[in-house]
Amino acid sequence: MHRWVALAVGLFVFLVSLTGAALVFENQIDRVLNSRLFYVKPQGERLPLQQLLERVRSTYPENRVTSVRLAEGAGLSYQFQLSKRITVYVEPYTGQILGTRSMEQWEVGLARRLHLLHTRLMAGQTGERIVGVISFLTAFLVVTGLILWWPACILTFRRRGSWKRWNSDAHYALGFYTAPIALVMAVSGVIIAFGDFADPLIDRLNAEPPPARPTRVASTSNDRPISLDEASRIARETLPGAALVLLAFPEGARPIVAQMKYPEDRTPAGRSRVFLNPYSGELLLVESARQAGLGTQLHNLKRSLHTGDIFGWPTRILYLIASLILALLWVTGMFMWWPAFRARRKNRLAQRATVRETIGERGH
């Protein structure tokens, strides 16, 4: 079963593993390839958010600005999202517009294509389901591989012996050491791919359902929205210790949403939210990752468990190595299977030849 499943989906596992290894550096790849948009030289204090917003509005008056993503570090730009699916990159110290990138340009970038190839095989929702099945079968290969490893308990490569022996030892030993991380990646991949089925089950682990998020607020024609700096101040005071990642300010009487990130939250956008009345600054709802129910905590963990972000760079490097080894296991497995396949095929042909000769002799 281990052999035939590996032969059936091994090439897909190889592809998903290699792209997964590359995606450990997804953000870094995108930034390096678009360095003029992302990297800036730190110089003093950053300008107020509202001032940067007005600069973007005056530069692109035909567009409505819908959100701003703050920089993760001192040497990175701010990203203002426009209503026409365009991102404007701004130097936060001087307000200089570094450039723009449309959603279409982002979609064809290398980092995004690697992401879509890994998660959906470039085939939309159907591809995501296929990747989910591949993840499930990868988990099956890990478990059956451990069962096959157990009798011999091979932990190292033998220095002496043929290349076949060395290849076999490598397959068993590397598979054993990689198994825990590979199993976590595979199971979390199944949960993510089949979220329509898994998420409602995880939600049931909450003691009570989370409160509904506000979508509208009362307003009058005289109401003026608060500044982004005021919204930023309220959000930071509401969740002290959490960094502000993004401010979304939809059009009309809709709440401002501040996405917040605690130090222990390794996901890029953070898992905490603060909803504000855009005119009064009143708190409408607070979603703190530190006070979330069990089900919500599992939702928050599944991505970082899958990507290796769970404990930062140490686990990301481990996941990188594990992904590369998973791809290598397909190669070593093929080298184990092919000589045996050729030998069996040769024996079957020889047996058939012997049978034909025997039949021929009896005929004479």
Q: Where are the domains of the chain?
A: 2-40+93-202+311-339, 213-291
The mean per-residue pLDDT over the stretch 356-363 comes to: 66
Give residue-wise pLDDT tens across range 75-89: 999 999 999 899 999
pLDDT at residue 363, rounded to an integer = 59
User: Is the pLDDT at 204 greater than 90, yes or no?
Assistant: yes
With cut-offs at 50, 70 and 90, classify the pLDDT of residue 347: confident
* Tokens 């468990």 -> residue: 305
Q: Is the dihedral of CA 45, 78, 60, 224 positive or negative?
A: negative
Give pTM, 2 decimals: 0.88
pLDDT at residue 293, rounded to an integer = 94
pLDDT at residue 203, rounded to an integer = 93
With cut-offs at 50, 70 and 90, classify the pLDDT of residue 299: very high
pLDDT at residue 66, rounded to an integer = 95
User: Is the pLDDT at 156 greater than 90, yes or no?
Assistant: no
Give residue-wise pLDDT tens across range 117-149: 999 999 999 999 999 999 999 999 999 999 999
243-248 β-sheet, strand order? 97-102, 86-90, 78-82, 65-69, 243-248, 256-261, 272-276, 283-287
Bridge partners (DSSP) listed for residue 80:
68, 88
Give residue-wise pLDDT tens across range 23-51: 999 999 999 999 999 999 999 899 999 99
Rg of the chain in Å (alpha carbons)? 27
Token digits for 291? 């006070």
Token digits for 333? 């497995």
Q: What dotted CATH number matches 213-291?
A: 3.10.450.40
